[in-house]
Amino acid sequence: MDKTMEKEYKWRADEKLLGQALLWASSRIGSQSRTINMESSYFDTADGLLKEHQAALRLRRENDRSVCCMKLRNTDTPDGMRAHEEYQCEAVSLLDGLRRLPELGAPKALCERALAADLQEICTVSFRRCAVLLQEGDTVCEMALDEGELRHNGKSAPLCEIELEYVAGSEDTFHALAAELAQQLDLVVEPTSKLARAMAL
């Protein structure tokens, strides 16, 4: 795995909207889906080292895989799309991931500081994802239908959202697909990340 500039749209949802989005995706040529059980733990230091650097650090179990991920420099656009740097690798532990991420382009100094610091689990997010790979011409994107729970400091809240992430091909087509989906289902943009919503509990 390597550095990517992740580009995605995120909308609020409920069970009805998840079903409607799946029907919309299933009706398109070239769609295929899979189910992933996700268990994410987010980490930071007591003084907020990662937050200070506008970074998010997580270790996530994805079915039988364990993946360490660092996201940096979130950018919100007027049309609701979010873009950020993302570095991830398979890792048996958080420390294993932090040692490997610089090889993939993650900031070495930040990873070294995190390795030397007392990292603490700050929140968890558990959810079931139906991931649908969509292809239109040479454009590929993935729609994620997520339903689960956010947990922080003994409190919890339900999670239900729709994401559409760019994978390859024409970005114009990707934006057009997002606009079509949002318009047909009358979707409302979700402006905050899973981490931010969990930490707000």
What number of CA atoms fall less than 13 Å from residue 113's CA on the CB side? 15
pLDDT in tens, 72-99: 976 666 577 888 899 999 999 999 999 9
Right CATH number for 4-199 from 3.90.75.20, 3.10.20.30, 2.40.320.10, 3.40.630.30?
2.40.320.10
Considering only 5-19, 37-51, 68-82, which range has the smallest mean pLDDT? Answer: 68-82
Instruction: Give 143's contacts (C-beta < 8 A, 6+ positions apart).
Output: 21, 25, 131, 132, 134, 162, 163, 164, 165, 181
Beta bridge partners of 85: 5, 72
Q: How many CB atoms lie within 10 A of CB 200?
A: 12
Q: Does pLDDT of 3 surpass 60?
A: no
Domain boundaries, the chain: 4-199
* DSSP bridge partners of 189: 11
Question: What pTM, to 2 d.p., does this model score?
Answer: 0.93
CA 134 to chain centre: 17
Give the ranges where the chain is alpha helix by DSSP (H).
Answer: 15-26, 49-52, 94-100, 108-116, 171-185, 194-199
